Structure 1
């Protein structure tokens, strides 16, 4: 495993997901970008909902998610905003519900139509990276067959490769075919394309293997806490020694609140408990969370990876009902806590 020295982490580029800041309609994209820039981040993950929202402000009317004529015009304006703030656009996200639809189905046709549209947006905003989240196969239509998933991702990779674009595949802790770092890594490994790598995430990793929002302890309870910790540590050691650093494209950073009372263990609003946890209960590091996210970040750094660390948080407060804050202060605190995390992950 690669040593993690303080000097080696000082050059890590830092990004902020545009969807991860702002607590009300007055927090427009221009205001968010200004706060991110002033805090010292050098790039953003551009969230598709932010494109829609910014377009609504620009045009004074709702923008449909498949109206690519309007979306490309909006994307062009967003690129100008980022240039004015000296911010790069590191990635477009989150591309979801893509892989596994039956051949010939309307859903599969829509998935590939969306892919073509998003590739056009990527070209317009000047990013080469598309985040794809592992599909939640709770729909009976979606295949859980590994060969089907790999075939679809290879086809998307080929579409992206024509533009010299890359695909960052992410495990979502509520997904049924790739909830963990290992499951998503095995898919990326088997897809075996040079432009396909990993989007790893401290919350998604610890939230799938250590935490559980449906229990009073906030932990997975089908084993003892001692055994749970032992298994998690072994998993992090395996991550550190099994993933080539060049197959990691970024690490997203967030923690999680321990939910009290625990979330109901059922699908509500189309989301499983872990999905709802991910959507509303994810603070920045050192701001009320409890997951072992330092251990995840350390494991990723031990692979030798020194690429993007990106703050992706969804902080609606410990009760998930909303949290008010001032944009500049929030972004500056995120930078301070990101630096604290990096320093905490070093060996010296």
Structure 2
């Protein structure tokens, strides 16, 4: 184990996953990979916040059903979201009678939840741990920016918060995909103050964590099918590749960003791409995990990114600290690639 990176001697297994989304996500190029689509933004509830609660409840239930698991099979549930006090999670999973750990890592919540679930199971502290997260366009927009009916102009750097959620379960026993290792991210703040340009704020954090993983493991981009970031969008993805190039490493041919994948930027008016906890979570749980399980993808680095701001500190002129946590996922359980 290095200071931030742990490579597991006995890699835990992701035994199930589920992705749920909304109408806009279904209209994107990966709509068929969602386990459930909700055309109603309220999800039959009375408020958007109650609707987001349903996203998490659905994701957990579907993930359990897909693997024929019961609540009693889960030793701990780890979850968080974007809302104040993480009410999307606490109200969403309160009906599940499970030991609960609430976390906050903004849009990197799924990578942190998966990281913690993997460490708990690999370390023998749990036989099976579950991670869940969500985001909702309407709840995030009026919390972080402006009332929905205001109709303000969105700049080109702005991103579209995904109405989506994802849940997965990690077990000390099972088959592919495996969690081979993790890198805990550091808070990085390069002085970006524009809350409508979170890609620029988060790209340095993604670079910090991914490059630390390569340094700690002596692996390189060529050892992976994909290096997947959470929701850097157009601006952040370009910056990340440029920072790596400046450091003498080319990741362009390997890099994928969930914020660029989840929507069709030519047909959907999402500006710089997708964002929100549910963006990376639904792409991971709906697309990447099944692809890894089948062997169509062999190895990826999943490094979701989070902008750790609040409306209050942003209005006070504070810059945006960011973090990215990394998980190495593989179809193979065996020896290190090199």
**TM bin (shorter chain):** 0.3 to 0.5
Q: Answer with 1 or 2: which has the greater Rg.
A: 1
Structure number with greater CO (CA < 8 Å, separation at least 6) is 2
More strand, by proportion? 2
More helix, by proportion? 1
